[in-house]
Amino acid sequence: MTDRPHRRSPRDLVGGRPDATYTLRFDGRELTAQAGQSIAAVLWGAGILAWRTTRQGGAPRGAFCGIGSCYDCLVTVNGRPNQRACLVPARPGDAVTTQEGTGRADLAV
């Protein structure tokens, strides 16, 4: 019987240790974040893959490009809509909510 090889993460390979953690809220749910993480990384880490719906049809969207080019990962952060989750650093106490459509009632068509 052979033992399975131990799977190591990139953090294991470089000997990194997590920074201090803090919490933020996503749609009322408390999530744990680490210093330096983007909001998208925090959401992914919590198993959340979609956090926006499209204007037409309400299709779910999350991170697509991960570098701020595509705008699929828009969220509302602390009341400010249209924030790209892949670029916005998570901060202690942030209130992040799913963005529906344009994120602003006055822009709805």
pLDDT category at 104 given cuts 50, 70, 90 is low
Is residue 65 a contact partner of residue 84, using CB atoms and an 8 Å limit?
Answer: no
Q: Is 42 strand, coil or helix?
A: helix
How does pLDDT run across 41-85, given as a tens digit for each residue? Answer: 999 999 999 998 888 888 888 888 888 888 889 999 999 999 999
Q: Indicate the DSSP class of residue 69.
A: S
For the cut 60, the answer to whether the pLDDT of residue 16 exceeds it is yes
Domains (range + CATH), the chain: 36-102 (3.10.20.440)
